[in-house]
Amino acid sequence: MADEAIRVKVVCRVRPLNEKERASGDASIVNFPSPSCVALGQRMYTYDHVFQPVSTQVEVYTTSARPLVKDVLSGYNATIFAYGQTASGKTHTMEVYADHSLYRTVCSV
């Protein structure tokens, strides 16, 4: 926050297909024309950043949360809000895996 004016950033994460979806032969209908756009058919949606299904938890954290963690530790307020329909990937994005790689990344701030 010290480097930027106060603003809201909106990012989109498209989760990978889950095991059930892959087993039933489902395919993704999402295209990524640029690092900040998602296309569904003829409709384009623009965000501050788009994370594709191959994005790692560490990439999402480093780009989206780490700057906010630093700001909070400097005394500023920050909020991360995960929004989406059921099974859209909120838990997939927010959970910490058993190897604690995200935990180690957070602790490195």
Residues of the chain with pLDDT under 50: 1
pLDDT at 69: 82
Pairing mode, strands 11-13 and 30-34: unpaired
Would you say 65 is a known binding-site residue?
no
Instruction: Provide the whole-model pTM.
Output: 0.69
Residue 84 marked in a binding site: yes
**Cα distances (Å, whole numbers) of residue 25 to 17, 29, 65:** 10, 13, 34
Report the CATH superfamily, name and number, of domain 3-108.
Answer: Kinesin motor domain (3.40.850.10)
Beta bridge partners of 37: 34, 46
What is residue 4's predicted lDDT score, i.e. its pLDDT? 58
70 assigned ligand-binding residue: no
89 known ligand binder: yes
